[in-house]
Amino acid sequence: MVRIIWQNRILSLILFIVLIIFFSCQSDKKLLNNPSSQKPETEFVNNLMERMTLEEKIGQLNLYTAGGDVTGPTMNGNYIAKVKAGRVGAVFNALSVSFNKELQRMAVEETRLGIPLLFGYDVIHGYRTIFPIPLAESCSWNLELMEKTAALAAEEAASAGINWTFSPMLDISRDPRWGRVAEGSGEDPFLCSMIARTRVKGYQGEDPESPQTILACVKHFAAYGAPVAGRDYATVDMSERMFRDVYLPPYQAAIEAGASTVMTAFNEFDGVPATANSYLLDSILRKEWGFDGFVVTDFNSIKELNNHGFSENDEMAAILSLNAGVDMDMQSDIYAANLMNLVKSNRIEEKKIDEAVRRILIMKYRLGLFRDPYLYLDEEREKATIYSNKILNHALASALESIVLLRNENYGGGKILPLSKGIKNLAIIGPMGKNKLDMLGCWHAAGDERKVTNLFEGIQEQVSQLNILYSLGCDFEGEDISGFSHAVKTAQQADVVILAMGENDAQNGEAASRSQIGFPGVQSRLIAEIRKTGKPTVLLVMAGRPIILNDEEQQIPAIINTWHLGTQGGRAIAQVLFGDYNPSGKLTMTIPRNEGQIPVFYSQKNTGRPYNPKDRFTTKYLDIPNEPLFPFGFGLSYTQFDYSSLQLSDSIISPQEELVVKVMVRNSGKISGEEVVQLYVRDLVGSVTRPIKELKGFRKILLEPGEIRWVSFTLKSDDLRFYNREMKFVAEPGAFMVYAGTNSAECLSAKFNLIP
């Protein structure tokens, strides 16, 4: 009897549980179908899309240039008519509130549904106030500074009606022949990933509806920085392992930081152009990383699938791109011209278009544009923001920390740098001496050269009693040496000579690869003539890429790599020259000894015959050493930092434990200075070969004269992960070396073991 009672009780309990599950599913379904439970953005966008015609949906997938800047090979004369017809989702290269307000008015007030436009622009290192080129600023190793730069650039651009920047550019590159290294953050995936997060946070802030933040755009997805022979737009071909270990991490970091959009690269990856590559755009970006923003192509790159030989006509190009996951067509007009017919002929599914439209409309919703389409279009805010002192002051701070001191040897009884403010006559010679436009560097957006403080003005301002002599000497290009004699005479009258040499803003950046990357034109010949005067000389390398110095240039006792520093460049260089700022920059890209070394980078593999200059059968050249001219992480100071006693908390760690690495750093000089202490690791044995060093940490510290500090880092087994033989991202037990030092070539070292 008792058994029967218990059986009944169990049965009724089971029935009760089943009923709970059943009714909860019902309510979930109700919830799902009940719009009020959906996120407001989803509800709003679904509702809007239900009212949109197919033609209006396709209209949202088009991005056209307004021609305010020329950033690609085609223009679009009739984009305004398309805006009025509701056939445009976004416009780029449209500058200023007044101009953009009229375009927005057309979109909102003259179209059937009044869907607002996005306004995009290449705010790569500033909008009007131009900061150092990204490669320069990465040499600051100051993440807080770089985040503030992105935030201020966003604030200034947003005040002018821009709400979307085609930045950060996160293409790792180890080939300085490629002109676009100027826009990146160097050769290292760890550092570039940290910078990626920083810049996305800076641009997007915490509140997408704030009229001081803008959408970020991760580009160029993916691996655009590894074109064969360093030639822009050329083929990219690498192993999946190299891709995952080196080129992919910065994009992933940016997506994890919440980047709202992604731009496809011009290049192919593994034989498939990025603009139609579902492995990149769907498998990795959407499925592995969970990216929920939208994908825009680079300029005209859907059309260029035909050039790639990946599509035989525009219709095919449209099908391949849409099905791969491209949401918005920059400037090619292929979507606008073909999608309607392709849907009607059942060659693409309308739901693919709906997916793309939804992603774009949700971004517009998140920006607050449906609430207020004129949110970013306030003339008063524009006037109050552009070139504000707050932004200009930060541009100076960024420029100062971007400068890298490469040499400061004794000359005539003492170091030339910092210059004494007591000198009477100073000569500035070279094409960057009084140059304003090129100080802005490539991709200088709406920067106004008239606002630039050039080198001459910067020094004049810094040392008012100085008699400054000037001679152009030569241009950036061409063979004209007629200016040499005046330059030599000018040098002969001076106590110190500043050689202001480098590249103009068109000799790097997009479509600006160079096969030889010394000083362009006859600058090296001018340097040689000036050297004959025997005057104390400081060489300023003012370019957008690592410049190879010839043998004579390498011997110049004082060499400063200033890059292109932007609006405040002249002021920053003057402060460094005269010691009002002690340079702290460290190279984030190796400077080769010559082009034959390229690609040359610190994180090399050991090979089976590691380099030994004394052993013939080892990996080396007959004519030069393997070491580059200046290694990754290199940068001098006007003071001296000494490293001693690298200590580990243990020599063995388990996967659950942390290793604390401490290194003692002393400022043994007479002035305070900032030092970037770098931490590297080597996995001595792996299921695949591992690099001889990988950056795993850094600290930028300020030390007073004589100050000693223990600088500590924490390593976990997760920091040791890589793609193993089975392409699993894991850390493998075994022996490791840890290095800490002032650059990738000068480190203290110690050994530890990771146990299973």
What does the binding site for ligand GLC look like in residue numbers (CB under 6 A)? 71-72, 122, 166, 219, 298-299, 510
Name the residue nearer to ligand GLC (CB basis): 116 or 179.
179
Quote the least distance from Cβ 71 to ligand GLC, whole Å.
Answer: 3
Secondary structure class of 557 (helix, strand, coil):
coil
Beta-carbon contacts of 317 under 8 Å, excluding residues fewer than 6 positions away, are 276, 302, 303, 305, 306, 310, 311, 334
Quote the least distance from Cβ 219 to ligand GLC, whole Å.
Answer: 6
Quote the least distance from Cβ 262 to ligand GLC, whole Å.
Answer: 12
Q: Which residue has the tokens 């599914």?
A: 349
Neighbouring CB atoms inside 10 A of 594's CB total 18
Name the residue nearer to ligand GLC (CB basis): 226 or 661.
226
Name the residue nearer to ligand GLC (CB basis): 57 or 180.
180
Name the residue nearer to ligand GLC (CB basis): 265 or 600.
265
Cβ 705 vs Cβ 672: under 8 Å? yes
Quote the least distance from Cβ 360 to ligand GLC, whole Å.
Answer: 17
Secondary structure class of 119 (helix, strand, coil):
strand
Q: Is the dihedral of CA 500, 506, 510, 513 positive or negative?
A: negative
Cβ 148 vs Cβ 131: under 8 Å? no
Name the residue nearer to ligand GLC (CB basis): 269 or 299.
299
Residue type, 610: P
Backbone φ, ψ for residue 35 (5° rounding): -55, -30
Residue closest to ligand GLC, measured at CB: 71
Name the residue nearer to ligand GLC (CB basis): 91 or 319.
91
Q: What whole-number distance in Å separates Cα of residue 741 and Cα of residue 419?
A: 28
Q: Which of 208, 106, 161 is nearest to 381 (CA)?
A: 161
Q: What whole-number distance in Å separates Cα of residue 752 and Cα of residue 454?
A: 50
Q: Which residues pair with 27 in a beta bridge?
A: none
Quote the least distance from Cβ 220 to ligand GLC, whole Å.
Answer: 6
Three-state helix/strand/coil letters over 52-76: CCHHHHHHCCEEEECCCCCCCCCCC
Name the residue nearer to ligand GLC (CB basis): 442 or 577.
442
Quote the least distance from Cβ 669 to ligand GLC, whole Å.
Answer: 42
Name the residue nearer to ligand GLC (CB basis): 219 or 364.
219
Beta-carbon contacts of 750 under 8 Å, excluding residues fewer than 6 positions away, are 646, 647, 648, 661, 737, 738
Beta-carbon contacts of 115 under 8 Å, excluding residues fewer than 6 positions away, are 48, 56, 60, 86, 89, 107, 108, 361, 364
Quote the least distance from Cβ 62 to ligand GLC, whole Å.
Answer: 14
Q: What whole-number distance in Å separates Cα of residue 447 and Cα of residue 128?
A: 4
Q: What whole-number distance in Å separates Cα of residue 587 and Cα of residue 436?
A: 24
Q: Which residue has the tokens 């004494």?
A: 420
Q: Which residues are catalytic?
A: 298
Quote the least distance from Cβ 182 to ligand GLC, whole Å.
Answer: 12
Neighbouring CB atoms inside 10 A of 227's CB total 24
